[in-house]
Structure 1
């Protein structure tokens, strides 16, 4: 049965006519390929069937959002929770091959939750130099009466070369409100006064509390059960992929990585087994031709939550 949605619901959906047309835009690989064969494409195939066909060392950045060690239904594809050792074996079945696609000076980010984070770290540290763990606060989530509400997720950051990897910290500065402004000789120190309040530009830490998980009134929202926010992925891409570089996602889902890469002037490539999600990816990529806005990011600045009025004013909206 179809969901009954509110009139203000902005969730991206597919009509049957769109499915027919968008299927023509999906790609398939059946043999060894070159970089030109794979960039700016969505492959609707099983990762394990196609990974050996991709060119080695073509990606500047790999973003991986694999199934967590939870029982989950991804539009008919069911992933079943298992014990820790079995989950580690699952990660090892694909991670080494995926990392073969990364350039020697490239970076990789792997998403996980509290239950799978130790397994991800254990395996990632065998194949890369782990630089950091990002923890981001999920703004929404169901309450729990017999446990603590699960409101955090992790992203592990790894590189192949300790001394040679791309990282542009200036591109991921955050604009924060200043509540206790400090002045020197009556002049603001490291902050500015505006009609909308006092703000300071700050370097990013590895704890991100400015992310909103997509929901029904956001224009990026889909019915994918574990969709990552565009703002979250934008930080990873801006920091770790140069303009014109290539971002690869082997578990593409509804396409956030590819869509954000396109919006930010990077090439993209992704693999998604489920056709419905692959079609949503193509629709979102087409939508990005008309609108490249990323909620919470404008004029090269990441804004805190609940500063929409200031963002709109800066954009001239």
Structure 2
């Protein structure tokens, strides 16, 4: 018996309503050239050939990592380094014509996959940074260090012309030992709810947990990314009404986050089940645009939900 607090979205296709199923686009009976704000159920390597050119402001790429993994009955098998690099170059060749001249691209990977990715990404784009996300969860090992980190590669088409809204992605940290100068708070705020400092963002993200069973965004997808993580990227590297593209959309987290932040979006996903979960979440956006961990225009540290709620009540 599932706990009443368990909010995980994991219903079956048989439980999906016809209305929900009909919202998913099928490549064979849809004009895909200028489509937006939709999920396409199909193979990205085929669908991308039919999309409008130079329309994407920000691409979020979360391909299968070079690991043995099962996605809704579809198996991804680990390749040799050269094979995975060829696989990567294949989706890059399809993606590049879709990008605007000032577009940004973020590519997700684990540490081992990063070793194969780096030279291919460098050949095709300007590498602006490599972000380390402290994911926390992960299986322990008796013979190695627990894998609790993932990489996020920040890339641009043009080395100097791209969007980066640094003031949109500040992090609010609680000040433990507040420093004063001439009796005044220096670089921090004293409020009824505590002492806080809004810090500039770095390439080490230690404030984001993976979705878990009591979070409304959680689904049954095995490698789901958090909305908070995606919000940082979308806010930093796009503007309202920009076009966000995700060719490996999974259960729709990037699309849902884009919708909540008033961006247009398009996702491609080969699993119909994951497409339906994503569309179900998108249909809820109009009633709930909150992103857990993002309050008052800043990103908060982990385990500060009570402080965020208190801040909202006194605002």
TM-score, normalised via structure 1 length: 0.95
Distance (whole Å) between structure 1 residues aligned to residue 96 and residue 172 of structure 2: 34
Distance (whole Å) between structure 1 residues aligned to residue 73 and residue 22 of structure 2: 22
Distance (whole Å) between structure 1 residues aligned to residue 304 and residue 212 of structure 2: 18
What is aligned with 1:273? 270
Preserved contact between residue 19 and residue 279 of structure 1 (Cα < 8 Å): no
What is aligned with 1:254? 251
1:168 pairs with 165, 169, 179, which one?
A: 165
How far is 1:17 from its partner? 4.3
Alignment of 1:168-317 (within 5 A): 168-316=165-313
What is aligned with 1:25? 23
How far is 1:180 from its partner? 1.9
1:221 aligned counterpart, secondary structure = coil
| Residue 100 of structure 1 pairs with residue 97 of structure 2 | yes
Residues 69-100 of structure 1, C-alpha deviations (whole Å, 9 max, x = no match)? 10001010100112211111111121121122
1:257 aligned counterpart, secondary structure = helix
Residues 205-233 of structure 1, C-alpha deviations (whole Å, 9 max, x = no match)? 00000001001111110000000000000
Preserved contact between residue 211 and residue 231 of structure 1 (Cα < 8 Å): yes
1:193 aligned counterpart, secondary structure = strand
Aligned length: 312
What is aligned with 2:114? 117
Q: Which runs of 5+ in 1 are unaligned?
A: none
1:176 aligned counterpart, secondary structure = strand
Distance (whole Å) between structure 1 residues aligned to residue 47 and residue 179 of structure 2: 57
- Pair 1:33–1:43, CA change in 2 (3 A): closer
How far is 1:32 from its partner? 7.1
Distance (whole Å) between structure 1 residues aligned to residue 151 and residue 172 of structure 2: 22
Preserved contact between residue 107 and residue 240 of structure 1 (Cα < 8 Å): yes
